[in-house]
Chains A and B, each alone.
Chain A
Amino acid sequence: MKTSEEIYNILKEKFGEEVILNLNTTEPIDAIIEVNPSKINEVSKFLRDSEELKFDTLMLLSGVDDANGTKVKDENEIETIQGGTLSVYYHCHSMEIGHKVALRVATPRENPQVQTVERIWRTADWHEREAFDMFGIKFLNHHDLRRILMPDDWGERYPLRKDYVDPEYYNGIKIPY
């Protein structure tokens, strides 16, 4: 069993400061290791294959809108967020050793791109599609990055973003109440 601090130190030794950015211990439950989004696949592979870590399960992969950009209002009083980041959180568990770790990658809101971990943990396949569907985060090298819940013809709209506004109509059906 390793604590998040120990895992953080192992990762930092292996990948260096550019990839393993910092350890956030201010959250109440899990300490969160922040990782560079273009290297998350390599870090994940190491987490899974390393003899002392053996993270064989990805429990959860979820997108989050940090909404930390500047809020801009247009002439119709509709608020959009510009700049800032969207994040993806990874919660891994080792069945064999019994320890857990949480990772986070942050990617710019205007062009959110993260390396896929779909081939490392197969669970990630649909979870990444969901994060793409709800937040528009693009997972590079994902073999089948389509919407998973919303209709295919929904367009470039991502409903869980904080500045999302319902369209008036979808295929001739009025949407607002």
Chain B
Amino acid sequence: MGLLDKEFNDGNIVITKTEDLLNWARLSSLWQLTFGLACCAIEMMAASASHYDLDRFGIMPRPSPRQADVIIVSGTVTLKMASRVKRLYEQMPDPKYVVSMGSCSNSGGPYWNYGYHVLKGVDRVIPVDVFVPGCPPRPEALIEGLLKLQEKIRHEKLTKQTA
């Protein structure tokens, strides 16, 4: 991202744009809301555990929406759960991001036609930044999605909200 490109020779001082600094800070500490809904949540937990180690991207689970930057909707959102997901999202402080993980939360997944209880896509209740396809997506896929989200944040403008 070139944050350290214009370093002065005597150290301790770095010149950069406010925008770049804020974006860099945001994307490097994306704290996710500890929250899982169905089978996809197992893959999300696997992604956080030592093998895939999401922590190396600065992504770690926080137990309260007040401390979270990103909500990974991992799994089947039922109609009963939809209002709760929305409330969790609303409780998060801005700037906040949403990753929709898995077919269920993207579009209803296996329940798209006969699931009387399933919301056919979480984007019907909250705005989604990144959709990760798969049933369930492997941890690599989730990581790819999160890297895409970081990419998106990197190009955010202070004057205009893009994510």
Q: What residues make up the interface of A, taking CB atoms closer than 8 Å to B?
A: 149-151, 159, 164, 166, 170-171, 173-177
A151 to B116, CA, bound (A): 12
Question: Are A159's CB and B117's CB within 8 A?
Answer: yes
Question: Are B83's CB and A175's CB within 8 A?
Answer: no
A160 to B102, CA, bound (A): 26
Tell whether B120 is near chain A: CB-to-CB under 8 Å: yes
Residues 101 to 138 of chain B near chain A (Cβ within 8 Å): 107-108, 112-113, 116-117, 119-120, 124-125
Q: What residues make up the interface of B, taking CB atoms closer than 8 Å to A?
A: 79-80, 82-83, 107-108, 112-113, 116-117, 119-120, 124-125
Interface of A is mostly: loop
Output the residue of B79, B82, B112, B119 with the most chain A CB within 10 A.
B79
Question: Are B79's CB and A164's CB within 8 A?
Answer: no
Question: Are B119's CB and A173's CB within 8 A?
Answer: yes
Least distance between A105 CB and chain B CB atoms (Å)? 25
Question: Are B116's CB and A159's CB within 8 A?
Answer: yes
Give 11 A-B contacts (CB < 8 Å), ordered by A residue.
A149-B117, A150-B117, A151-B80, A159-B117, A164-B116, A173-B79, A173-B82, A173-B125, A174-B124, A176-B120, A177-B113
